[in-house]
Structures are given as structure tokens and as C-alpha cells.
Structure 1
Amino acid sequence: MLENKVVVITGASSGIGLLTAQMLSSEGAVPILAARSHDKLTEASRRMAGKHEIKVVDVTRDDQVRQMMDEVIKTYGRIDILLNNAGYGKFENAVDMPAEAFQRMMEVNYMGTVRCTKAVLPHMLERRCGQIVNIASMAGKIGTAKSTAYTATKHAVLGFSNALRQELRETGIIVSTVNPGPIDTPFFDIADPSGGYVSNVKWLMMKPEQVARKIVQLMKTGKEELNLPFKAAAAMRIYQLFPRLSDKLTYRMMNKK
């Protein structure tokens, strides 16, 4: 089902981006691994078995994003799936985090998603097919202390995705969101350098292979939303029904940063 599909993956030099690329390659797809670091992409490429390409791109740069997408379309004639995976987090109290840090995170996590989506959308609309998969987060649905900046970016990704899905409902283009809880990836090297949060949520933390496998399955089925893990998905539904009560009851349990 994914054989010969051209899949652009941002943030693909490590973590779930790279693992998803590897799994897609094993399915016969053609993953295009995109990230900022040429050295990390080169190393990632050595771990790829099937046909693929690497593209150095900074998702905060409109010109670089457009050039990358144009090059892929020129080479392959199409982009079947876009996986907006680039992003990072940093856990810090709002009062301590500079406004510039909020802005930078929004530029990467949210505006990076917007830039990449807008760069492929005219092409997908012309073909009347394609899938855009946006990696959001459980944080986009449930806010916790010390994640004001990160949570805001993922709220934005979810809002953008949900509204875009309605715009594209009858165009043949699928918009999917993935909302994972904590994943055991290099994400926490920046977000939680002390390791305290990772230690506190180890019981909930997912293996990146598990998440990558679910993402590949979502690409096959065209599912519009995926919440991971199951325990977190159930908690999100309860939170959305009773947000203020849930805040009061779960404050100490949820704030482990």
C-alpha cells in the first residue's frame, strides 16, 4: 500500500522521524529525510537500507522549505505524504523563559508545520490526493506546568490541522494528527537535561519503535487522529469533558517536570 510512495519527513535525522523513514523504506516507500544537520543526516542515511534521499533544510526558512519541496517534486513528480515531525521542547516556567524562546519554539514547531504544508499543498490540490501527517502531542490537549511554550505550539499545530482538515474535506487530501505522550527519544536531551522528568514518567514513556510503527499504520489507513498511548488517550477524553475538575484532581500527578 505504501510501495513507491514518496514521503517527505522533517526532523528525520533521529528519533521517530528516522525510525519511521526506516520502516517506510522496508514497505517499499521512498522516504525523503529532511533536517538541519548535514552530518546527522549523513549518519542517518547510513542506517537506511532502501531507496531514499536526504535534504538539508531549516523549517524556519521559507526559501529552504520551498526549494526542498520543489526539488522533490521535480525529481519524483509528486509528494504523496508529508510527515511534519520537526520540533523540540524545553521545560521551563513561563516567568523564567524569555519571550524569544517562546517565539523560536513557535517558529520551529508550529510555523515549520505551516511552511512545509503550504509548500506541498498546491501540488496535492492539483493532483487531488495526498496525506499530511502532523506530529502534535498529548501536551496539545492537556497543559502542564513548565511546558507553557511547548504546549502552546502543539495547541497551535492541532488547531491548524483540525481547521485544515475541514478545508480539504472534499479534495482527496487527508490531514492526520498524531498526539503521543512522552517518547524515549533525544527530544529530552534539550527538554529535560537533568533527567528528572524522564525518571518521573518512565512508567508512561513509549518506545520510539512503537510510535513509528503506529505512524506507518496511520499512513496506510488514512486515520485522521491518533492518540498514544491508550491510557493517555482515555485521559485526554476525560480531560476534555471536565477540564477544570481534571486540573484540580490531577495537578500533582501531571506536573512531574
Structure 2
Amino acid sequence: MHKRRLEGKKIIITGASSGIGERLSWHIANQGGIPLMLARSIDKLEAQQELIHRELDVMGFIYQVDLQQKQGLEYVFHQLVEEHGQIDGLINNAGIGIFDYVKNMNLPDIEQMFQLNVYALMHGTVKLLPHFMTQKEAHIVNVASQAGKMATPKSAVYASTKHAVLGFTNALRLELVDYPIYVTAVNLGPVQTNFFTNADPSGKYQQNVARYMLDADTVARKVAAHLFTKKREINLPWWMEIGSKLYHLFPTGLERLLKKQFNKK
């Protein structure tokens, strides 16, 4: 069933050279879709393209772009529509996190997180939306975070970017209710990827949460399984989503109860 649903659909994946984006590209191709892979590293993109072709006999397309550069982003999204004629989906997966206390944060790091996590996501969506509104079916997937629902110390800026992504996604879904465009938010706990190279260079946080970390392939398989279905949110792990819901009901109590856990970064 999944194979038929994705057959021939062209889906953009940002941050496709590693981690969740890399595995998403593979699973989309495995289900008959055509991944349009965007990232900064052309070497990694070429290796991913070759792997998909060798293992799945699917020709994915690769585009080198720094999504933090407005002109490059504008150009690549124009190029995608020009070259492919029809784009069926957009997965805004690219993102970065830098964990530190607010008192220690510097402006360039703050700007970088907002530029990639928020502005690039919104910009790409705005560029493609008129195109999607002419289609019989389209899907926008925004990778947010459980941090967007429950912020913790040392993640004030990162959590703010994911709050913004959730707000944007939820409002966009309501705006598109009369169009055949699915809009899904993906809210994840920590995932074992190179995200932590920047977010946690000391490795302390990864050590503290190692037993809770999600596998990138498991996440990608779950997201791919819900493409072009009416799925409002994908929340992983399930117990963290329950924690988020409880936190909204009893914030003060949970902050006291989970103080030690909240300070694992």
C-alpha cells in the first residue's frame, strides 16, 4: 500500500546528506518515490544518490545549497520547479541546535539557529505553496521537536525555534483546510545523529540520555509511512509526548518533580 501511495511522487528533503534526512531519502525511494535531496555537502549527497541507485534502482536528484543563504535558497527552489515541473512534497528536515545557557549565548549562534530552523523552513514553504495549491495532492512535513512543547535549561533558543515551527505548522494547516495539502509536524526527542556535534560537543548530554535516544532509521520509516496521509503530528518517543501533555496541564509540579531530568544537558 505504501509503495503505491508514493509511486512516482517527487519529494524534497532538506538536510538530506545525513541522519534523518538521509534515511528519509532512502525510505521514500524504497516506496517508489523520487527523492529530491538538498544539503550543503555535495560529497555526501553524491554518495547517497549512488547508494539509492545501487540498492533500489531509483534515480534520486541532488542539489547543493546552504539554506542559510537567502539567494541560494531562492535559486534552488526555483530550479527544482523548473526542472521537475511538478513537486509533490516538501520535508523541512534541516536544522541545528546549540545548547547553552542564555547568559552564555552569542548573537551569531542565535541567528544561525533561527535562520536554518525557522526562516529557511518558512521561506521554502512560501516559495512552494503556490505550486502545491495547483496540485491534486501535496504534503508539507515540518520537523519540529518535543523541545517545542517542553523547553528545558540550555535549550531556550533552540526550543524557541521549534515553538515557532509548531506555531507556523499549526496555522498553515488551518489555512489550507480547503486545499488537498496535508500538513504534518514531527516532534522528536533526542535522535542519534550528528546533530549533537554542534549541540553537545562535550558529549555529556548524549551520555546522559543514551538509553532514550531514537534511531534515525526508525524515525524516517515512521515519517515515510505517513506521507500523503492525513496525519496531524508524529510524536516520538510516545512517553515523551505524554510528558509534554502532562507538562501543559501541571507545569509547576512537573518542573519540580523532573528538575534533575530537565538539567541533563
- TM-score, normalising length from structure 2? 0.93
Give 1:44 shift.
2.3
Superposition map of 1:1-257 within 5 A: 1-49=5-53, 50-127=58-135, 129-257=137-265
- The aligned amino acid for 1:187 is F
1:26-77 residue CA offsets vs partner (Å, 9 max, x unmatched): 1110001101122222232232232200001122233322322222222222
Query: Is the 8 Å Cα contact of residues 192 and 215 (structure 2) preserved in structure 1?
Result: yes
Give 1:11 shift.
0.4
SS in 2 for 1:19: helix
Query: Is the 8 Å Cα contact of residues 183 and 205 (structure 1) preserved in structure 2?
Result: yes
Give 1:220 shift.
4.3
1:85-133 residue CA offsets vs partner (Å, 9 max, x unmatched): 0101111111011122111110011111001101110101122531100
Unaligned runs of 5+ in 1: none
How far apart are the structure 2 equivalents of 1:145 and 1:47? Answer: 40
Identical-pair percentage: 40
- The aligned amino acid for 2:17 is S
Give 1:186 shift.
0.7
How far apart are the structure 2 equivalents of 1:57 and 1:128? Answer: 28
Query: Is the 8 Å Cα contact of residues 9 and 84 (structure 1) preserved in structure 2?
Result: yes
How far apart are the structure 2 equivalents of 1:140 and 1:197? Answer: 18
- The aligned amino acid for 2:27 is M
1:146-198 residue CA offsets vs partner (Å, 9 max, x unmatched): 11111111111011111111111111111100001000111111111111101
SS in 2 for 1:83: strand
- The aligned amino acid for 2:114 is M
How far apart are the structure 1 equivalents of 2:176 and 2:49? Answer: 34
How far apart are the structure 1 equivalents of 2:137 and 2:228? Answer: 14
RMSD of the alignment, in Å?
A: 1.3
Q: Which moved more, 1:62-71 or 1:165-174?
A: 62-71
- Count of aligned positions: 257
Query: Is the 8 Å Cα contact of residues 82 and 133 (structure 1) preserved in structure 2?
Result: yes
How far apart are the structure 2 equivalents of 1:233 and 1:131? Answer: 23
Give 1:224 shift.
1.3
SS in 2 for 1:31: strand
- TM-score, normalising length from structure 1? 0.96
How far apart are the structure 2 equivalents of 1:85 and 1:137? Answer: 11
Unaligned runs of 5+ in 2: none
